[in-house]
């Protein structure tokens, strides 16, 4: 089976739900830890605060990774949203608003896979999904957090850096992670694990 095909049955199996949940919960913990890292590194970016958004893409990984691994409609949204819920439950410094943020990010990635009818999971699609998740995040942040900031010196740069980070870390990073997982054999019950030559 190649990455350009999808099983006729698009319904979720029990193993799909379990693995998607594991990805989501694991990244929910990562999200919470990444929030601490974000706070701890603020001082390092005082020279140009928007540059801190290079770290942003980690928050978008489960959306792309979940879709690459599960290859079923809704996987991107499920993994990103559940990860956000878990991070909120663990005590995210941004509170429950991260759940809405996760929804925006997950929808962004999901729309890309929907656009290709869930039939392609190659690198260009993963990069586009990362970019779309990044757009969802960047637009949300512009409305929720950055409206009072200067447009040219802060809002535009952080928007751009957020999307680029999403492309690199969530898009390319998820492809690399999927390949690494496939090589271990843990994804053998999924097309993403059996098709190890192309992701």
Cα–Cα distance measured from residue 36 to residue 24, given in angstroms and rounded to the nearest whole number: 19
Q: How far apart are CA 170 and CA 158, in angstroms?
A: 17
Q: Residue 198, SS3?
A: coil
Per-residue pLDDT of the chain (199 residues; tens, 9 = 90+): 444 444 446 899 999 999 999 999 999 999 999 999 999 999 999 999 999 999 999 999 999 999 999 999 999 999 999 999 999 999 999 999 999 999 999 999 999 999 999 999 999 999 999 999 999 999 999 999 999 999 999 999 999 999 999 999 999 999 999 999 999 988 988 888 776 544 5
Q: Is the pTM of this model over 0.85?
A: yes
């Amino acid at each position: 089976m190649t990455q350009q095909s999808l099983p006729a049955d698009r319904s979720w199996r029990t193993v799909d739900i379990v693995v998607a949940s594991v990805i989501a919960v694991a990244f929910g913990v990562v999200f919470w830890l990444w929030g601490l890292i974000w706070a701890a590194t603020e001082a390092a970016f005082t020279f140009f605060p928007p540059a801190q958004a290079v770290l942003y893409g980690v928050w978008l990984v489960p959306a792309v990774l979940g879709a690459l691994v599960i290859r079923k409609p809704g996987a991107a949204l499920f993994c990103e949203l559940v990860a956000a819920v878990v991070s909120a439950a663990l005590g995210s410094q941004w509170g429950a608003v991260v759940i809405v943020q996760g929804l925006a990010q997950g929808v962004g990635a999901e729309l890309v896979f929907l656009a290709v009818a869930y039939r392609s999971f190659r690198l260009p699609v993963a990069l586009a999904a990362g970019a779309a998740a990044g757009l969802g995040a960047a637009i949300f942040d512009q409305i929720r957090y950055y409206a009072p900031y200067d447009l040219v010196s802060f809002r535009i740069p952080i928007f751009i850096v957020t999307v680029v980070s999403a492309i690199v870390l969530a898009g390319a990073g998820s492809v690399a992670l999927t390949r690494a997982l496939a090589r271990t054999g843990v994804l053998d019950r999924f097309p993403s694990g059996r098709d190890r030559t192309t992701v």
